[in-house]
Amino acid sequence: MARSPRDTAALRRRSALELAVVAAIALATWALASALELHESLSAFFARHESWQADELAIALGVLAVGLAVHALRRRREAEQALAA
């Protein structure tokens, strides 16, 4: 069963909306972290716990975020192919 142009347009609108929501949350997080001077607080925390290598956590979380984004894009592509079939 082929997808109708209406279904394709709805999927694209939903994807754009989800992207906008993620971007808005990221921007709000940055603004809140800036207002609360979160980096300075975390730097002091990480300095006390250097033996745990907690300062490397940001890098690991960044890699995780990229991996989840790639996974989501792959799943979207699979869903579009399944809908087209």
pLDDT digits (tens, 9 = 90+) for 27-58: 999 899 888 888 888 888 778 877 777 667 78
pLDDT at 22 over 70: yes
The domain of 34 spans: 5-84
For residue 7 the two structure tokens come to 């279904």
pLDDT at 1 over 60: no
Contact indicator for 55, 46 with CB cutoff of 8 Å: yes
Whole-model pTM: value is: 0.54
**If you average pLDDT over every residue of the chain, what do you get?**
84
Contact indicator for 12, 73 with CB cutoff of 8 Å: no
Total of domains in the chain? 1
pLDDT bucket at 25, cuts 50 / 70 / 90: very high
Q: What is the pLDDT of residue 3?
A: 63
For residue 15 the two structure tokens come to 């994807």
Contact indicator for 69, 78 with CB cutoff of 8 Å: no
pLDDT at 67 over 90: yes
